[in-house]
Structure 1
């Protein structure tokens, strides 16, 4: 069933210019009008989405106005097109084409750079998340992504983007993403350097690597936005990353991003949707390296645990453990190198605790803290999770000991997720306020500074 038209102004102009039933013809004329910008591949599907809320880039709108003006015999202002202000990115839709993904990237990166401090990104849309999963899994692959634009892009240029992604990943794991400063630097990088590269000139081989690098940066920014509590913005970036990974032909990184989306859904309490998302990721990953499968099945376990599916949860944990045992000779892509037995153990504490199997969950506590020095935020998250699990198991003394450690390890980390887990811990301990020990711990937790 077709979606209703939401941009009636644009629809009216198309009708007046004779393109009401000729969307493909309009797209061809638009591609011709924008030839100085590079090779555009807009088609009838692009027009369909523009009529239903997607906002093309400013340069595309200028070419639209030019195309319509020739047919109408009068000047057409860009403001007549009905796409609204540049700061409005509309609904979170999986881009239908590579050109659509590039336009979307430019829009949301610009919006983030301009309004990073406003913290008004909306809410997570689980329905749109599932639509993105279907698009990534079942849409046809892109035959070509080469482009003729204004800036030559080389393999060396692309490799520098991976180095920058590694830098931001390290900052995120050490300090959290609650402060907008790191995200501001990253947003500026994307707007000023990466967007022009996407609009540049590159071969198909270089273009696919560029799409992969852009997907990596967008995926990292998505995770940072999620950690900062900006859930709609995080969803926009991971959806964009999925489309760019599709263009790159990198199904493994796409599966990783989809699992990140599932992790966000679990955090927000959308357990069943999270399970469907990670199931699509596992299905799309196919015969993946063991490390990738371990990460995906661990994410599935957390989704099943939250939804109360005990058998599915325990089976997913077993699959993750077996896959992790095979990683000695099968390390997988560089981006999954972070996933360790400690990360799997943390997932086990989480999902088994959700199933009220507290003793079994706490059996993974020691391993969950066997983390590298760079994983400062994960150590704080796991410590708080262990404290919560002790409290729910009825062991107040142990809960207080671990809560004190949480206060120490959470200090200085700017992360909405860490703050949420600290609040969860305080709430769980709150029923024991008669205990002086509990009161002291609650006072310590309450004194932790909030992220700016």
Structure 2
């Protein structure tokens, strides 16, 4: 029995582009548009299920929009595809005031703390991200953030928030953001402990420090949600955190959060948005410490690599490397201490690979894995990236060697991003599965959820 079509917008685009009954032809064009992600194997059956309610990953939607735009001769946005959901209780728009940000945060934390699975989600909103960047950069600073409430907030209270933020950050790096219980635990903590503090009594000075600490906590939960593949929730948290950083009058913290939002945009295929967000972060950070500049320019390079802009990517990488060489831990914010030469090398490897400069990319491979032991997720991500880059460069032996190492690193890490990279490696190697070591590796790699 044929199921009825439920996505009329997607069906209308197929017809307008001349794919009314040629679903296999569209799937082939999609596979071509998404070749940067690996060797996709979508077919007419995939299109059948997309028409009937199945929702592809957001980076697949970005490739769909690209395929339609090329056929129709006009820009096509992801929202036109008809896959957008509206489950997130509020949109990712930039809050008008610190109080609005606090109210939005309380609503979101309360919702997340009460649920495990299924979790509400939503889609990345391109316009909201760019509007948030503009508002953060150019809106006037908050004149005061003092408040009068029942609970008096002290500097010791805020220091405890920084300590707990570091605890959740460490947990995320060791295990990944993919465990819903970990994110629920953090949301519950924010709802029960931080919300009363935000509604408490504090001076302007203490209030700004409270806003900064809360921005870091919200930003951490945003990053965990992004790592778990919950992109609507992640963007919502990033935007709330960005507004709280504005209230804290901490431009470096805000630039860091905006760079994380750019990183999410790169992952989802919104490379032009990502470049704009990264440049806004660089501009807004001003005369930042070298460690912060290194991190921001590295993010910009990632966006330009994904865009295919070789010159801009190389310029950003050079600026990042120069800043990294001048880094002084004593003059850097504590939150940027994680950013190391290995993190730079991993991004350089990725964006040069996006530019198909595989030989240059692989020069960064040794540095990309010189990570501290607690960075289990990053080590796994970089290992997968090195393996895939070798495979795309045609060195199947090296790809298999790194792939076998990857299988050991994935055991205790829960991450949708890591699943994606494992899937990329598998699809890149699949044309060579007649080779015994490739066949053995494909059986060894952990099974990942299909990109529907």
TM (norm. structure 2) is: 0.79
CA displacement, residues 77-115 of structure 1 (integer Å, 9 cap, x when unaligned): xxxxxxxxxx96222110011111111111111111123
Aligned equivalent of 1:23: none
**Post-superposition shift, 1:449?**
9.3
Where does residue 378 of structure 1 map in the other structure? Answer: 378
Aligned to 2:254: 254
2:190 and 2:328 mapped to 1: Cα distance? 36
* Aligned-partner Cα distance in 1 for 2:342–2:268: 23
Larger Rg: 1
Structure 2 residue aligned with 1:425:
425
SS at match of 2:128: helix
Q: Counterparts of 2:203 and 2:90 in 1: how far apart (Å)?
A: 31
**CA displacement at 1:261 relative to structure 2:** 0.3
Q: Distance in 1 between matches of 2:433 and 2:277?
A: 40
Work out whether residues 400 and 437 of structure 2, in 8 Å CA contact, stay in contact via their aligned partners in 1: yes
Distance 1:295 1:319 in 2: 10
Q: Deviations over 1:304-323 (max 9, x none)?
A: 00000000000000000000
Over aligned residue pairs, what C-alpha RMSD do you find? 1.4
Counterpart for residue 341 of structure 2: 341
TM-superposed deviation, 1:151: 1.0
Q: How does 1:239-278 map to 2 (within 5 A)?
A: 239-278=239-278
Does structure 1 residue 316 correspond to structure 2 residue 316? yes
Residue 357 of structure 1: how far off its partner (Å): 0.3
For residues 285-340 of structure 1, the C-alpha deviation after alignment (integer angstroms, 9 at most, x for no partner) is 00000000000000100100000000000000000000001014664100000000
Shift of residue 363 of structure 1?
0.4
- Supply the distance in 2 between the matched residues of 1:364 and 1:396 (Cα, whole angstroms): 19
Deviation beyond 6 Å, 4+ runs, structure 1: none
Shift of 1:448: 6.9
Is the 1:388–1:424 Cα contact (8 Å) retained in structure 2?
Answer: yes
Match of 2:204 in 1: 204
2:22 alignment partner in structure 1: none
Residue 235 of structure 2 corresponds to which residue in structure 1? 235
Q: Measure, in 1, the Cα distance between the counterparts of 2:279 and 2:230.
A: 25
Ranges in structure 2 where 5+ consecutive residues have no aligned partner: 1-86
Quick one: distance in 2 between partners of 1:119 and 1:108? 12
Using CA pairs below 8 Å that are at least 6 residues apart, which structure has the higher relative contact order? 2
TM-score (normalizing by structure 1): 0.79
Q: Who is 1:284 aligned against?
A: 284
> How do 1:57-206 residues align onto structure 2 when only pairs under 5 Å count?
89-206=89-206
The alignment partner of 2:445 has SS state of helix
Kindly provide the CA deviation profile for residues 34-70 of structure 1, in whole angstroms up to 9, marking residues without a partner as x: xxxxxxxxxxxxxxxxxxxxxxxxxxxxxxxxxxxxx
Task: Report the Cα offset of residue 120 of structure 1.
Answer: 3.1
How far does residue 138 in structure 1 lie from its aligned partner after superposition?
0.6
Aligned counterparts of 1:130 and 1:117: Cα–Cα separation in 2:
30
Q: Distance in 1 between matches of 2:381 and 2:256?
A: 21
- Aligned partners of 2:423 and 2:448 also within 8 Å: no
